[in-house]
Amino acid sequence: MQITVATWNVLHRVHAENYIEPSIVAHPDERARTLAIADRLESLGDLVALQEVSGDQLAVIRARYGARALVWSAQYPRVPHFRGGSTTSLVDPTEHLVTIVFGRPVRGSTAHTFASDPGKGYVTVELDGLLVINTHVSYGDRSAAQLGQVAAVAAAHAGPTVIVGDFNAHREAVLAGLGGVAILPPDGSLPTRPRGKGASKSPDIDHVIVHGAVGSDARVLDSTGLSDHHIVTATIEI
C-alpha cells in the first residue's frame, strides 16, 4: 500500500490574534480564510492531519468534504479565549485535531488529550493496517512525557505506524522521544514554522515519523500566508 500524508497546523484564529500573527493581519476576513484553507486540503494527499482547527473551520471542512471523505475530529476541553479585545468573531471557538481520509476505508479512531495540557493531544486512525497518529505536542518541559505517550500508542500497534503533526520541537528531540525514522524534505526546503531573525525556537517543528514503514518524497509546501505554518507532505509505503 502507498499513501500520501500531509500535516498542517492551520492556526486557530484566537491564538493568531493573541500573538498578532502576520497571516491574520493579511487575512482579516476569517470566513474567507477558512474557505481558502478548505480549498487546499483535497490536493494535499490521501490523508490530511490538521492541528489548531477552530469549530468554524471544522464546520467548513465537514460541509465541503463530509459526503466524500471521512473526517475524524477530537475536541479539546480547553476553549481558546482572547486575551484582549477581539477584532474578529468566531461562531464556534472550540479547538480540534482533525484527520481527513480521502477514498480509503478507515477501521477506527481513538483520541486523547494530554493531562499536562488541555489544549494538546492526539487522534489516531487505522487504514489497511497502518496506524496514523496526528498529534500536537506542547512546547518545553511537558513535551517529553507527551512524546512518551504517543510512542506507547505506536508501540502497542502490531503493524506499521506513521506519526505526524506539530511537535513544537526540532527533529532530533522528537526522534529521541518517539524513535522511528523521520522523512526528511530536501535541503533548502522552506522551514515548517518560519521564525524571525535571531529566534531561539526551531523553524522546523512539523514532522513525519515512521515505524515499520518506508517514507519518501517529503516536501514542505507554501501555505501562502494562510497560517504561520507551512504544509509537510510525504509518501508512505507498507
Q: What is the pLDDT of residues 149-159, one digit of tens each?
A: 999 999 999 99
CB hemisphere CA count around 45 (13 angstroms): 23
Size of the chain, expressed as the number of residues it contains: 238
What confidence score (pLDDT) does residue 210 get? 98
pLDDT tens for residues 41-84?
Answer: 999 999 999 999 999 999 999 999 999 999 999 999 999 988 87
pLDDT at 89 over 80: no
pLDDT band at 85 (very low <50, low <70, confident <90, very high): low
**Strand intervals (E) in the chain:** 2-9, 47-54, 69-75, 95-102, 108-113, 121-127, 130-136, 161-166, 181-182, 206-211, 214-221, 231-237
Which residues constitute the domain of residue 129?
Answer: 2-237
Record the cell numbers describing residue 13, joined without a space.
Answer: 484564529
What confidence score (pLDDT) does residue 161 get? 98
User: For residue 156, what are the β-bridge partners?
Assistant: none
What confidence score (pLDDT) does residue 197 get? 78
Task: Kindly calculate the radius of gyration of the chain based on its CA atoms and give it in whole angstroms.
Answer: 17
- Provide the domain count of the chain: 1
* Distance between CA atoms of residues 23 and 43, nearest Å: 21
pLDDT tens for residues 12-43?
Answer: 999 998 988 888 888 999 999 999 999 999 99
Question: Contact at 8 Å (CB) between 71 and 62?
Answer: yes
pLDDT tens for residues 92-132?
Answer: 999 999 999 998 888 888 999 999 999 999 999 999 899 99
Q: What is the percentage of the chain residues whose pLDDT exceeds 70?
A: 98
Non-local CB neighbours of 143 within 8 Å, separated by 6+ positions? 137, 167, 168, 169, 173, 177
What confidence score (pLDDT) does residue 87 get? 60
Non-local CB neighbours of 185 within 8 Å, separated by 6+ positions? 218, 219, 220, 232
Question: Contact at 8 Å (CB) between 13 and 58?
Answer: no
What confidence score (pLDDT) does residue 88 get? 66
Which phi and psi (to 5°) does residue 66 adopt?
A: -60, -30
pLDDT band at 168 (very low <50, low <70, confident <90, very high): very high
Q: What is the CATH number of the domain that holds 106?
A: 3.60.10.10
